[in-house]
């Protein structure tokens, strides 16, 4: 895996904003470059403070003292989101270099068996590659569609871990989706949200998300079943500015109480099992990053439900809907 980013873009934005003190925010995979980026900034005369926290996305804006010690925050590896901040937020996107096109060409005959119309989606690190993928697929006889997402999505075809609106915008018109990128959560979200087949890349080839989707759905309905006798709910809200769905939490609290049950809102900076260990609630509802309820659920002793799963439990709905963050949640 190789990373490609342009510090000249950053220098230009810092000069435009007349910045002197820079706060650096890096996801785990890019922290290895912290000293390099810092040294390049210092050569240009900037003071630098590096965030040592985990960073989970553009939604994860550190707040502790950075607005006092820095004139801006620079987030590497993510596209911008509509987030309020006391100091300017600068997002520097990072392209990942992965030989997906070779894998795609080697598997093109397999994909032709899945249909003629394909939807294309990617994380921000690969989204600029989608026109190239579209051009190749159309040369092979496919019709390729790239959807437009809502206000939280910067690029056509881009999907977030909490937003699959670009895929949903074309899902009725495609036979299947191709996800350009790495990891399973993003294509899983597309598969559950659209109920269409999704194919993703890895170093060994192209794989279907179908079996993984079925496994995850079985686990999620299991969590709903375990929560069915709950009388007391803890509704978890993250203080992270891009995840702080307090408006939604208050709506869910009223819904739970209207059902004759008890509920409290729990405000946490970073959600983890040890922070919930001492509470006596029967189940928790996660009004923070939707990935916590899917990726991390097995780490928690009590059922951890998404807002949509709570609706299934309280309203008797049978259709599973993937939790997504919307601006109206805040």
* pLDDT tens, position by position, 106-135: 999 999 999 999 999 999 999 999 999 999
CB neighbourhood size of 245 (10 A): 27
pLDDT, position 329: 86
Residue 39 has a CB neighbour count (10 Å cut-off) of: 10
pLDDT band at 49 (very low <50, low <70, confident <90, very high): very high
The answer to whether residues 210 and 188 touch, using CB atoms and an 8 Å cutoff, is no
CA dist 308 and 324 (Å) reads: 9
| CA gap 103, 205 in Å, rounded | 6
**Per-residue pLDDT averaged across 39-64, rounded?**
90
Instruction: Report the DSSP beta bridge partners of residue 198.
Output: 177
Question: In this predicted model, what pLDDT tens digit does every residue of 264-276 receive, in sequence order?
Answer: 999 998 899 999 9
Please report the pLDDT score of residue 63 as a whole number: 67
Estimate the share of the chain in helix, then strand, then coil, as percent rounded to the nearest 5.
40, 20, 40
Residue 2 pLDDT exceeds 80: no
The encoded tokens of residue 61 equal 């804006």
Angle at which helix 210-226 crosses helix 185-194, to 10 degrees, equals 80
For the chain, the average pLDDT equals: 93
Please tell me the predicted confidence (pLDDT) of residue 1: 55
What is the pLDDT averaged over residues 134-159?
Answer: 96
Domain limits, the chain: 2-94, 100-208, 217-329
4/130: higher pLDDT:
130
Which CATH architecture describes the domain 100-208?
3-Layer(aba) Sandwich (3.40)
70-106: pLDDT as tens digits: 999 999 999 999 888 889 999 999 988 777 888 899 9
Alpha-carbon distance 27 to 288, whole Å?
A: 18
Q: What is the chain's length?
A: 330
Burial group, residue 114, by CB count within 10 angstroms (0-12, 13-18, 19+): middle
Q: Which CATH architecture does the domain made up of 2-94 adopt? A: 3-Layer(aba) Sandwich (3.40)
Residue from 311, 120, 160, 137 nearest 242 by CA:
160
Taking residues 204-221, what's their average pLDDT?
Answer: 92
What CATH code is assigned to 217-329? 3.40.50.11860
CB neighbour list of residue 58: distance below 8 Å, 6 or more residues apart:
75, 78, 79, 80, 81, 83, 91, 242
Task: Please check the confidence at residue 203 and state whether its pLDDT lies above 80.
Answer: no
pLDDT at residue 122, rounded to an integer: 95
> Greater confidence, 215 or 98?
215
Q: What is the pLDDT of residue 169?
A: 98
pLDDT over 60 at 256, yes or no: yes
Is it the case that residue 306 has pLDDT exceeding 70? yes
| Exposure string over 63-88, b if 16+ CB within 10 A, otherwise e | eeebbeebbbbbbbbbbebebeeebe
Minimum mean pLDDT range among 61-65, 158-162, 241-245: 61-65
Distance separating alpha carbons of residues 54 and 176, to the nearest angstrom: 34
Which pLDDT value is given to residue 73?
A: 95
Cα–Cα distance measured from residue 200 to residue 295, given in angstroms and rounded to the nearest whole number:
18
Q: Is the pLDDT of residue 202 over 80?
A: no
Strand intervals (E) in 34-127: 47-50, 72-76, 89-92, 95-97, 117-122
Domains 2-94 and 217-329 equal at CATH topology level? yes
pLDDT band per the 50, 70, 90 thresholds, residue 194: very high
Query: 287 falls in which pLDDT band (50, 70, 90)?
Result: very high
């Amino acid at each position: 895996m190789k990373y490609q980013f342009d510090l000249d873009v950053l220098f230009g934005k810092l000069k435009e904003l007349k910045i002197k003190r820079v706060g650096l925010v890096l996801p785990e995979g890019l922290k290895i470059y912290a000293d390099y980026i810092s040294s390049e900034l210092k050569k240009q005369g900037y003071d630098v403070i590096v965030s040592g926290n985990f960073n989970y996305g553009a939604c994860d804006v550190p707040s502790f003292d950075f607005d006092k010690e820095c004139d801006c925050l620079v987030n590497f590896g993510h596209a911008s989101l509509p987030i309020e901040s006391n100091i300017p937020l600068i997002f520097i996107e990072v392209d990942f270099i992965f030989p997906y096109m070779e894998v795609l060409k080697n598997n093109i005959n397999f994909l032709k068996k899945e249909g003629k119309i394909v939807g294309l989606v990617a994380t921000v690190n690969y989204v600029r590659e989608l026109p190239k993928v579209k051009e190749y697929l159309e040369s092979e006889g496919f019709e390729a569609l790239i959807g437009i997402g809502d206000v939280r999505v910067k690029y056509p075809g881009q999907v977030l871990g909490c937003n699959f609106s670009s895929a949903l915008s074309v899902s009725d018109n495609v036979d299947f989706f191709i996800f350009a990128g790495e990891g399973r959560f993003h294509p899983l979200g597309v598969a559950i949200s659209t109920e269409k087949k999704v194919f993703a890349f890895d170093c060994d080839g192209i794989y279907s998300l179908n079996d993984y989707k079925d496994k995850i759905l079985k686990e999620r309905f299991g969590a709903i079943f375990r929560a069915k006798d709950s009388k007391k709910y803890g509704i978890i809200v993250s203080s992270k500015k891009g995840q702080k769905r307090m408006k939604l939490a208050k709506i869910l609290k009223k819904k739970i109480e209207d059902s004759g049950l008890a509920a409290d809102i729990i405000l946490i900076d970073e959600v983890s099992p040890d922070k919930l260990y001492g509470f006596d609630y029967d189940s928790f509802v996660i009004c923070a990053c939707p990935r916590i309820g899917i990726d991390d659920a097995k780490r928690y002793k009590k059922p951890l439900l998404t807002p949509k799963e709570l609706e299934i439990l309280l309203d008797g709905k049978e259709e599973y809907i993937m939790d997504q963050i919307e601006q109206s949640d805040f």
